[in-house]
Structure 1
């Protein structure tokens, strides 16, 4: 079996605002396994400025992984503990290669097209009117759960936006999640949570920056609004540290991005720990192409979680690979009658 890697630069249909600036392109790396008769493909979903493996030796590590593919998944996974996105790409590629269909990683009623998964509608950061138009569009599409990025415009304007939404749609009409991406400071976070709680929000992701466990624990204990940990999970590499973080902080929710936490294996570890402590969770993609989104969606379905997931990012790019993944209303579906179009020269 031969292992190679390559990079593909995904181009956004329109610049997309995040807490780390406006994105116009996004680089993804791919591991390809092949013999004369078959191949497997996995995506290493690196996110600049967020992934712990955003390092100068990233490509060298990819090359080393491919050159040492004979060591097998278990050994390589352990050696790649500082590179969670490569762990995930490797897991995905091996699962893909081992399957009769390289794109069918977890056969289920989802991949048979019989069931879909409810997802949240993502609202990108930007000017108030732009965000308002996105919200209206998502509601018209049939979404009952919307995730709103906050922390980009001033807080008072964001409160006005939430006030507008709630004047039009009650909590029984629309579930609202907000994501602060660590924008609040520990000393004013509780006051902001109090003000946000007036709008019947489902939860807030990462109100303060990661790594402040005691401050986050205090917030989770006193908050009038359920808190979900997101970036807080990044960089915790062994089960002991993961368990310690949950025991210390005791959040209401955690959010799993497989590309940032070591793929299927890393996600399963977090899920098991969360279940032990009665912490709820959901899974979110991290701007992967349809290769990575497909793997995450198939895996997520097998975890039997009925909450809206964060899996609707496949349509962001002009040069994505065409896939059987579709969005129907507020559900992501897999249509087995549609084929994969090989735009990446796989």
Structure 2
């Protein structure tokens, strides 16, 4: 017989982190523990206020229901909690950890220390000097894929990218940008052309999510590949996922399991993307080291050779010990 409990935790950023949605100083998250036969499994229900589909007044009530009903089948839990994707994510982690114990969720060559995951270096928004200093640090650490947050001051951001591209051609460094829906459809057309001139790999979510018609037009005519990110949030059942990809036909999708229904929800998206020749990669969503560890183990087992977006574990002052270690652009598991 299993029992379960949950608790809230506030992560504090080492320094304010800028996105097009504002500056982040703290990150609220929840942990669920499942106990059975003197064993314990822990998972992170990585709620993202202002972004998660399940950012609602019923969140803790849903967690209480999950804990009371933890002995139901996972399918029954998933069906009841369909509107709380981050809770599904936490339960999946806790059940996997209950099985393997310690820091293990998905054993593999990665958790045996035999292989690593290549990740992109993330550059946060700020003034040109701040962004340039972050880029220099990533270059020094031998990153070959860099992702820049854009959309606050595009003219300044464009100059930063142009300066970087003059020093490092695309065969030396892959550049990705993430707009978080900052541009209007008309602005996006201009930005997409300017990005192509800078040899940009892809842009995440150039316009605000929810405007499928405008996004489909952009994806059809874009000179720079488009990756859907926030667009996937709240698209919860298989048929809706299928319809979104059919209508928009993006070049890529980006999966944040805490926002799209956990590992099982991500598996559905991956299956549909691959059937439609759409590329994909996995990105963290400001989880603590507990959720990030589980996410990295899951990601490794998906065997996607592209650089993944998993390098956020060092952002917080009050994070937890982690078996993950970043060596250059490679994420390793050190037991």
Give the TM-score taking structure 2 as reference length.
Answer: 0.98
Q: What does residue range 131-280 of structure 1 map to in structure 2 within 5 Å?
A: 131-152=131-152, 154-280=153-279
SS for the counterpart of 1:242 is helix
Is the CA contact (8 Å cut-off) linking 1:2 and 1:34 kept in structure 2?
yes
Between 1:184-193 and 1:264-273, the stretch displaced more is 184-193
Match of 1:96 in 2: 97
Partner SS for 1:316: coil
Superposition deviation, residue 36 in structure 1: 5.4
After TM superposition, give the deviation of residue 35 of structure 1 in Å: 3.6
Structure 1 residue 4: deviation in Å? 0.3
Deviation at 1:163, TM superposition (A): 0.9
Contact 1:105/1:295 (<8 A) preserved: yes
- Residue aligned with 2:259, SS: helix
CA drift at 1:113 = 0.6
Residue 272 of structure 1 deviates from its aligned partner by 0.3
**Unaligned residue ranges in structure 1 (runs of 5+):** 337-346
Matched, 1:313 2:312: yes
Measured after TM superposition, the shift of residue 69 of structure 1 is: 1.1
* Partners of 1:186 and 1:202 in 2: CA distance: 20
Indicate the residue corresponding to 1:294 in structure 2. Answer: 293
Secondary structure at the counterpart of residue 308 of structure 1: coil
Q: Shift of the alpha carbon at 1:208?
A: 0.5
TM-score, with normalisation over the residues of structure 1?
0.95
Structure 2: unaligned runs, 5 residues or longer = none
Contact 1:41 1:102 in 2 (8 A): no
Rounded to whole Å, the distance in 1 between the matches of 2:298 and 2:129 is: 36
* Post-superposition offset of 1:188: 2.4
Counting matched residue pairs gives 334
Kept after mapping to 1: 8 A contact 2:81/2:87: yes
Please provide the CA RMSD for this pair: 0.9
1:43 and 2:41 matched = no
CA offsets 1:155-189 (integer angstroms, 9 cap, x no match): 21111111111111111111000001111101221
1:263 & 1:102 partners in 2: Cα distance?
Answer: 21
Superposed CA offset, 1:62-106 (max 9, x none): 11110111223110111101000001111111111122x242111
Could you tell me how far apart the structure 2 residues matched to 1:269 and 1:309 are? 18
Partner residue in 1 for 2:284: 285
